[in-house]
Amino acid sequence: MPTHEITAASAGTWTLGDMTVNRIGFGAMRLTGGAAFDSGGTPSDRDRVIGVLRRAVELGVNHIDTAAFYFSRLRSANELINRALAPYPDDLVIATKVGPGRDPSGDWLPLARPDQLRGQVEENLRQLGRDHLDVVNLRQHGLDSIAEHFGALAELRDAGLIRHLGISNVRPQHLAQAQAIAPVVCVQNAYGIDNRLSDKTLRTCGEQGVAFVPFYSIAGDGRDAGGVADSEAILAIARAHGATPAQVRIAWTLARGPHVLAIPGTGNPDHLVENVAAGALRLSADELASLD
Ligand SMILES: NC(=O)c1ccc[n+]([C@@H]2O[C@H](COP(=O)([O-])OP(=O)(O)OC[C@H]3O[C@@H](n4cnc5c(N)ncnc54)[C@H](OP(=O)(O)O)[C@@H]3O)[C@@H](O)[C@H]2O)c1
C-alpha cells in the first residue's frame, strides 16, 4: 500500500481508561518551531503546522500529546491544536502534562507545588478550549515521592476537570505511589532503541494494562533528529524494508508490546505521513534481535 494511504490504525488500538486510541499518535512539541522550548528561535509556519495537525487526524491519529509549556516566541502548541482541530472530533484524546512551567518569556520555573497544579490544569483548559481534559500526566522531576502532587491531580479528577491520569519521567516506585491514590492509565518516559533505561517500567506497565508512551524515540538522547547516529543495524533494516531509520525506530517501540503508544513529534508534513506509516512496519524476530 502506498505510504500516504496507511492510517494510524495500522498498528492497532489500546485503551486509555474508557477511551480507545490508535497506537500511532502524535506529539505536539515540535509544532512551535525553532529548537524545542527556544523562545528566541524562528517560529513555525502557522499554516504548515496547522496542516500537519489536520492531516494527522485525517490519517486516523486520535491521540495527541501536548503541554501548555510547549511554546516558542509566537506559537503555542495548545493554541495551534485548538485552531486546527476545534470543534474536536469525539474520538480525539488530547493528553497534556503538568508539573513543569515557564514564565511568559519562556524561562523555566521550578516544578509546580501540588497547590499550583490546578492553575496549570486550568491554563490547559483555556488554551485548548475545553471544559475537561482527557488525560493529564504529572511530569515529575526529582521527587522521591509523587504522592502529594498526584493526590492534588486526583482531586481535580474527582472534581471533573480531568478524565484520566498519567505520570511522566518516572521510575517504577512512582507508579506504585500513584496507583495507591488513583488509577494510572499511562506512563510517559524517554525510551527508544538507544535508551532502554525504562525497560522495567515498560514491562510493569504491560503486566498491569497501563499504556507506556515513549518520547524521544526518534530523536534519542540527542533530543533532535540526527542527534544520535543510526547504527548499521538500523540502517540495514531500513534498507531491507524500503523504510527510513525514523520508521524503524518507531516500529521498534511498537514491537515492545501492545500497550506501547507512539507519539512521534514533527512539524513536517512528509515526516508525519512517514511516521503514521511506520505503524504498518513489522520487524521480524531476527531484526528485533539485531537491534538489541
Ligand atoms: N513527558 C516528557 O517529558 C516529554 C519530553 C519530550 C517530549 N515529549 C512528547 O513526546 C513527543 C515526541 O518526542 P519529540 O517530539 O521530542 O521527539 P521524537 O518524536 O523522538 O523526534 C522528533 C524529532 O525528530 C524529527 N522527526 C520526526 N519525524 C521524523 C522523520 N520521519 N524523519 C526524520 N526526522 C523526523 C523531528 O523534526 P521535524 O519536525 O523536522 O520532523 C524532531 O526533530 C513530543 O512531541 C512531546 O509531545 C514528552
Domain CATH code at residue 76:
3.20.20.100
- For residue 225, being part of any structural domain is answered with yes
To test the pocket of ligand 1, the residue of 44, 136, 137, 271 to mutate (highest count of ligand atoms within 8 Å of its CB) is 271
Model pTM score: 0.97
101 φ, ψ (degrees, to nearest 5) = -150, 160
For residue range 215-274, list pLDDT tens digits in order. Answer: 999 998 766 666 678 999 999 999 999 999 999 999 999 999 999 999 999 999 999 999
The CA 36 to ligand 1 mean position distance, Å, reads 9
Band of the pLDDT at 3, cuts 50, 70, 90? confident
What atom in ligand 1 is closest to the CA of residue 213?
10
Band of the pLDDT at 4, cuts 50, 70, 90? confident
For residue range 72-97, list pLDDT tens digits in order. Answer: 999 999 999 999 999 999 999 999 99
The CA 265 to ligand 1 mean position distance, Å, reads 3
CA 163 to chain centre: 17
Please report the pLDDT score of residue 40 as a whole number: 62
* Residue nearest ligand 1's atom 37 by CA: 266
CA 25 to chain centre: 7
76: containing domain: 8-291
- For residue 3, being part of any structural domain is answered with no
Spatial CA neighbour of 49 closest among 67, 70, 31: 31
Residue 34 pLDDT more than 90? no
How far is CA 81 from each of CA 71, 200, 243, rounded to the nearest angstrom? 12, 33, 29
Neighbours of 202 (CB within 10 A): 20
What atom in ligand 1 is closest to the CA of residue 265?
15
For residue range 175-207, list pLDDT tens digits in order. Answer: 999 999 999 999 999 999 999 999 999 999 999
Helices (H), the chain: 46-58, 77-85, 117-128, 147-158, 172-179, 199-208, 232-241, 245-254, 269-277, 285-291
- For residue 2, being part of any structural domain is answered with no
Number of domains in the chain: 1
The CA 126 to ligand 1 mean position distance, Å, reads 25
To test the pocket of ligand 1, the residue of 187, 215, 261 to mutate (highest count of ligand atoms within 8 Å of its CB) is 215
- For residue 1, being part of any structural domain is answered with no
